[in-house]
């Protein structure tokens, strides 16, 4: 089970690197869907922040790959729980960051639609991986 969660984390964070860093212009269009709002320096800044978000996702993917390759390097369940909680927080912060927008969407507002397309996948997968990491961590320490 541990290896499966580490693989899922690594894949998801690698996909985040790809979306935010490599395809940052495309992702900016998802976040700013209205073409009329894209002709300004703030939109260009959103595109460029993809490098930062992508870099963090690359580091998190690499961490999970290294953990997967070194499963025997941690001999205590509490050590694994610590690392899994770290992953849960990383996924949970992404999920929680979309909650205010999702609430705005329910009222017919919001800058992007959390309940459609790519954003829905991000919302659901980050929530799911947050839960997987948390549950596995709890099973290791309880």
For each of the chain's 142 residues, which pLDDT tens digit applies? 999 999 999 999 999 999 999 999 999 999 899 999 999 999 999 999 999 999 999 999 999 999 999 999 898 999 999 999 999 999 999 999 999 999 999 999 998 899 999 999 999 999 999 999 999 999 999 9
Cα(36)–Cα(49) distance, rounded to whole angstroms? 20
Q: How confident is the model at residue 5, as a pLDDT?
A: 97
In 4-68, beta strands by DSSP E: none
47 neighbors 28 (Cβ within 8 angstroms): yes
pTM, two decimals, is 0.90
């Amino acid at each position: 089970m541990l290896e499966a969660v580490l693989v899922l984390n690594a894949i998801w964070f690698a996909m985040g690197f790809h979306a935010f860093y490599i395809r940052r212009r495309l992702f900016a269009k998802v976040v700013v869907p209205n073409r009329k709002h894209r002709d300004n320096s703030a939109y260009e800044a959103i595109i460029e922040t993809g490098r930062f978000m992508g870099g963090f996702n690359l580091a998190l993917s690499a961490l999970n790959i290294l953990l997967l390759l070194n499963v025997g390097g941690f001999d205590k369940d509490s050590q694994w729980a610590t690392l899994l909680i770290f992953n849960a927080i990383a996924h949970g912060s992404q999920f929680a960051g979309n909650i205010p927008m999702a609430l705005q969407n329910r009222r017919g507002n919001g800058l992007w639609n959390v309940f459609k397309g790519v954003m829905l996948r991000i919302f659901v997968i980050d929530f799911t991986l947050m839960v997987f990491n948390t549950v596995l961590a709890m099973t290791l320490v309880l």
